[in-house]
C-alpha cells in the first residue's frame, strides 16, 4: 500500500525540478545513490562539487533540497546542470575562512619527508564539509532516505620551486578530486633593479660577476589568508640538484653574508637579492652556468611569525647544510622553471681581446723605439772612435 504512495511522492518531488524520473530513466540513470556520485575539484581560490542529480531525484529530492553545511545563503545553493550526461547538481564556494559556505578549515603539522625531510614542521590545511538532503515531509515518519555527501580538500603548504635557470620565468597546476595544490599560484621572477620593474635579460656571454640579481617569489590568485615564506634558496650546477655541487644562499636561521633578504613572510610576495657568482668547478669553462631552487612555504597570516623565529625550542627548524639525499624522488615535486643563470668567468671578459691587442701594439712600438735609440748610440760611438783614431795616427 505504501510503495505506490512513495513512488507518486517521489515523482512529485522530482517534478519540482527541471529533471524528472522519466528523464533519468531514459538515460539509464534512475537508480539509488552511490558513493561515487560526487566529484570534488580543489581549486586555488574555490572548491567545486558535482553531484549526480538522478540518484537525488530517485530518492525523492531535487537540487533545491540539497543543502551545504546547513547554510541557507542563496550563494551556497546548488544549481542543476543538464548540459552534461548524466546531469549533475553543482556547488561552488570560495576558499576563504570567512565565507566558504560553512566549510571547516583545519591545519595540521607533521615532520617533513623526502625533499622536506630536514623540516620538522610541515603544515597541511584540510577543508571539509557535508551536503545533506532536507526532507520536506511533515509528520511523524518519512519514507525518504537521508542523503549525505562528504567532501574534503587537503592543501599542503610547503612547496619546492626548482629547475630555475636564471633568465626569465614560467609556471603550472594539477587538479584531482579530494586533493588540491596552490603551486600554480607561485611564480619566480628575476629582475635587474631594486625596484623590481626591469626583468633580468641574460646576455649571450653571461652577466658580469658581482652583478646584483633581484629575485621575487610571488603568489597570484591566492586566497588572502596565506603569505609567502621562503624557507631555503640555493644554487646548483645541475637542474636537478641531486648529486650536484650546490651553494646555499640562505637556509633556516642562517644566510650567506652577501645575500640580502628584502621581504619574507609579510605578504604574498617574497624578495631577496644576491651578487652573481661562479662555481669553481666551472673555472675552465667560458661561462659559469647554474640553476636556482627555492623551497617555498605558504603560511597562514597568524602563524607566519612563528615560522620566522629561530628559537630551536619553539619550532625546531633545522638548518640545512648538507647535500640533498640522492634518493629524493623529484618526479613527485611540483616545479617552476626558467632559463639558466650564466656568469662571465675571468677569461671571458668582452674586452679581453681588445686589451691584448692594445698591449701587443704598445709592446711593438716600445721595442721599435728601443732599437732606434740603440742604433743611434752605436753610430755616435763609431764616429767618436774614428775621430780619435785619426788623431792618434797623425
Domain CATH for 316: 2.60.40.4100
Claim to verify: residue 211 and residue 258 sit in the same structural domain: yes
Mean pLDDT of 339-363: 53
Closest CA to 299 of 308, 287, 291, 290: 308
* Domain span including residue 275: 158-348
Note whether 127 and 95 are within 8 A (CB).
yes
Question: Could you tell me if residue 359 is inside a domain?
Answer: no
Claim to verify: residue 214 and residue 236 sit in the same structural domain: yes
pLDDT at 259 > cutoff 80: yes
Q: Among the three residues 129, 153, 177, which one is the final residue of a domain in this structure?
A: 153
Domain CATH for 22: 2.60.40.3210
pLDDT value at position 16? 43
Q: How confident is the model at residue 218 (pLDDT cuts 50, 70, 90)?
A: very high
Question: Could you tell me if residue 379 is inside a domain?
Answer: no
Q: How confident is the model at residue 311 (pLDDT cuts 50, 70, 90)?
A: low
Claim to verify: residue 146 and residue 174 sit in the same structural domain: no
Question: Could you tell me if residue 52 is inside a domain?
Answer: yes
Question: What are the E-state strand segments in the chain?
Answer: 38-42, 46-52, 66-68, 79-81, 88-94, 104-110, 122-133, 148-156, 158-165, 186-191, 212-219, 226-236, 246-251, 254-255, 260-263, 269-275, 287-300, 341-344
Claim to verify: residue 107 and residue 80 sit in the same structural domain: yes
Claim to verify: residue 118 and residue 183 sit in the same structural domain: no
Over pLDDT 70: what percentage of the chain? 75
Q: What is the pTM of this model?
A: 0.62
Q: Supply 291's cell numbers.
A: 640553476
Claim to verify: residue 134 and residue 250 sit in the same structural domain: no
Average the pLDDT over each of 30-44, 174-188, 348-362 and give the range with the smallest value. 348-362
Mean pLDDT of 288-292: 87
Give the list of residues 6+ apart from residue 103 with CB closer than 8 angstroms, or none: 47, 69, 93, 127, 128, 129
Claim to verify: residue 167 and residue 65 sit in the same structural domain: no
Q: Supply 95's cell numbers.
A: 576558499
Q: Among the three residues 153, 187, 204, which one is the final residue of a domain in this structure?
A: 153
Domain count of the fold of the chain: 2
In whole angstroms, give the CA distance from residue 302 to residue 44: 20
Give the list of residues 6+ apart from residue 196 with CB closer than 8 angstroms, or none: 214, 216, 271
Claim to verify: residue 220 and residue 304 sit in the same structural domain: yes
Question: Could you tell me if residue 229 is inside a domain?
Answer: yes
Q: What is the pLDDT of residues 118-164, one digit of tens each?
A: 788 889 999 999 999 998 888 776 777 889 999 999 999 988 877 65
Amino acid at each position: 500500500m505504501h510503495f505506490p504512495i512513495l513512488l507518486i511522492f517521489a515523482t512529485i518531488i522530482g517534478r519540482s525540478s527541471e529533471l524528472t524520473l522519466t528523464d533519468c530513466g531514459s538515460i539509464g540513470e534512475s537508480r539509488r545513490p552511490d558513493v561515487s556520485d560526487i566529484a570534488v575539484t580543489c581549486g586555488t581560490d574555490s572548491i567545486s562539487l558535482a553531484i549526480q542529480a538522478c540518484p537525488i531525484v530517485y530518492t525523492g529530492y531535487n537540487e533545491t533540497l540539497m543543502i551545504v553545511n546547513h547554510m541557507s545563503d542563496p550563494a551556497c545553493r546548488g544549481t542543476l546542470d543538464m548540459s552534461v550526461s548524466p546531469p549533475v547538481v553543482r556547488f561552488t564556494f570560495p576558499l576563504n575562512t570567512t565565507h566558504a559556505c560553512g566549510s571547516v578549515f583545519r591545519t595540521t603539522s607533521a615532520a617533513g619527508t623526502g625533499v622536506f625531510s630536514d623540516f620538522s614542521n610541515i603544515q597541511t590545511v584540510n577543508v571539509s564539509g557535508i551536503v545533506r538532503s532536507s526532507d520536506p515531509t511533515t509528520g511523524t515518519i518519512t519514507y525518504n532516505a537521508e542523503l549525505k555527501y562528504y567532501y574534503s580538500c587537503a592543501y599542503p603548504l610547503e612547496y619546492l620551486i626548482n629547475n630555475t635557470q636564471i633568465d626569465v620565468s614560467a609556471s603550472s597546476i594539477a587538479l584531482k578530486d579530494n586533493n588540491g595544490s596552490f603551486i600554480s599560484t607561485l611564480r619566480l621572477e628575476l629582475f635587474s633593479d631594486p625596484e623590481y620593474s626591469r626583468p633580468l635579460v641574460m646576455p649571450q656571454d653571461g652577466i658580469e660577476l658581482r652583478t646584483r640579481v633581484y629575485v621575487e617569489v610571488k603568489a597570484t590568485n591566492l586566497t588572502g589568508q596565506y603569505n609567502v615564506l621562503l624557507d631555503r634558496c640555493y644554487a646548483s650546477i645541475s637542474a636537478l640538484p641531486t648529486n650536484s655541487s650546490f651553494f646555499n644562499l640562505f637556509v633556516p636561521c642562517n644566510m650567506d653574508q652577501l645575500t640580502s633578504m628584502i621581504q619574507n613572510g609579510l605578504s604574498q610576495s617574497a624578495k631577496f637579492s644576491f651578487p652573481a657568482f661562479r662555481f669553481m668547478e666551472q673555472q675552465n669553462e667560458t661561462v659559469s652556468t647554474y640553476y636556482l631552487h627555492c623551497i617555498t612555504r605558504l603560511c597562514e597570516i597568524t602563524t607566519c611569525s612563528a615560522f620566522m623565529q629561530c628559537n630551536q625550542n619553539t619550532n625546531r627548524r633545522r638548518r640545512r647544510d648538507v647535500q640533498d639525499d640522492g634518493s629524493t624522488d623529484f618526479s613527485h615535486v611540483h616545479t617552476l622553471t626558467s632559463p639558466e643563470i650564466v656568469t662571465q668567468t675571468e677569461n671571458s671578459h668582452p674586452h679581453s681581446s681588445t686589451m691584448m691587442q692594445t698591449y701587443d701594439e704598445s709592446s711593438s712600438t716600445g721595442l721599435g723605439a728601443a732599437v732606434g735609440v740603440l742604433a743611434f748610440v752605436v753610430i755616435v760611438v763609431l764616429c767618436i772612435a774614428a775621430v780619435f783614431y785619426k788623431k792618434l795616427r797623425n
